[in-house]
Structure 1
Amino acid sequence: MSADLPWATDGMAAAERVRRAAVLLAGLAQDGLTFAGNDYESDRYRKVAGLAVELLAAVSGRDAEELTLELGRDSGYATPKVDVRGACFDADERVLLMRERADGLWSLPGGWADPGDTPTTAVLRELQEEAGVVGEVLRLVGCWDRDARGHTPPLPVAVVKLFFLCRVLEQGEPDPLETLGVGWFALVDLPPLSTSRVTEEELHRCLAHHRDPSLATELD
Structure 2
Amino acid sequence: MEPKWLTWAKEIQSLSQAGIAYSKDPFDIERFERLRELSQEMVSEYTDVPMEKLKGLFANETGYQTPKVDVRAVIFKENKVLLVREMLDGLWSLPGGWADIGLSPSENAAKEAFEESGLTVEPIRLIAAMDKKCHPHPPGGYHIYKLFFLCEHREGELKTGYETLDAGFFGLDELPDLSVGRITESQLKILFEYCWDSNKQVYYD
The TM-score range, normalised by the shorter chain, is over 0.9
Sequence identity percentage: 35
Report the Cα offset of residue 173 of structure 1. 5.1
Amino acid corresponding to residue 114 of structure 1 in structure 2:
D
Give the alignment partner of residue 77 of structure 1, picking from 64, 68, 73. 64
Retained in 2: the 8 A contact 1:128–1:174? no
1:52 maps to 2:43: no
- Aligned equivalent of 1:11: none
C-alpha distance in structure 2 between counterparts of 1:29 and 1:40, whole Å: 13
Q: Would you say how many aligned residue pairs link Structure 1 and Structure 2?
A: 205
Amino acid corresponding to residue 115 of structure 2 in structure 1:
E
Higher relative contact order (CA 8 A, sep 6+): 2
More helix by share: 2
- Aligned equivalent of 1:35: 22
Report the Cα offset of residue 126 of structure 1. 0.6
Instruction: Find the residue that maps to 2:155 and give its secondary structure.
Output: strand
- Aligned equivalent of 2:183: 198
Give the alignment partner of residue 158 of structure 1, picking from 123, 140, 143. 143
- Aligned equivalent of 1:13: none
The TM-score normalised by the length of structure 1 is 0.88
Retained in 2: the 8 A contact 1:124–1:136? yes
Report the Cα offset of residue 117 of structure 1. 2.3
Runs of at least 5 residues in structure 2 that lack an aligned partner in the other structure: none
- Aligned equivalent of 1:138: 124
- Aligned equivalent of 1:216: 201
Amino acid corresponding to residue 131 of structure 2 in structure 1:
D
Retained in 2: the 8 A contact 1:107–1:193? yes
C-alpha distance in structure 1 between counterparts of 2:169 and 2:158, whole Å: 14
Amino acid corresponding to residue 32 of structure 1 in structure 2:
G
